[in-house]
Amino acid sequence: MGKHHQNLLNNLEELRKKAGLTQQQLSESAEVSRKSINAIENGIYVPSTVLALKIAKTLCCKVEDLFRLPNN
Partner 1 sequence: MTYFKRFLIIFVCGIVQIFYATYLLSNLFGYTIEWHISNHDLFMFIPGVLVFVGSGILTASYYFGDKKNNNILYDEYTALRYYKIAAIGYAINGIGIFILFSIQDWSNWNFQSANNMIYQIAAFAWLVFGILLTIFSIGDYKEFKNG
Of 13, 34, 61, 63, the residue at the interface with partner 1 (CB under 8 A) is 34
Q: Judged by CB under 8 A, does residue 48 bind partner 1?
A: yes
Q: Does 38 bind partner 1 (CB under 8 A)?
A: yes
**31 interacts with partner 1 by CB under 8 A:** yes
- Nearest CA to 47 among 62, 61, 60, 63? 63
Contacts of 72 (CB under 8 A, 6+ apart): none
Using the contact rule CB under 8 A, the part of the chain among 4-12, 13-21, 40-48, 55-63 near partner 1 is 40-48
Regarding 47 and contact with partner 1 (CB under 8 A), the answer is yes
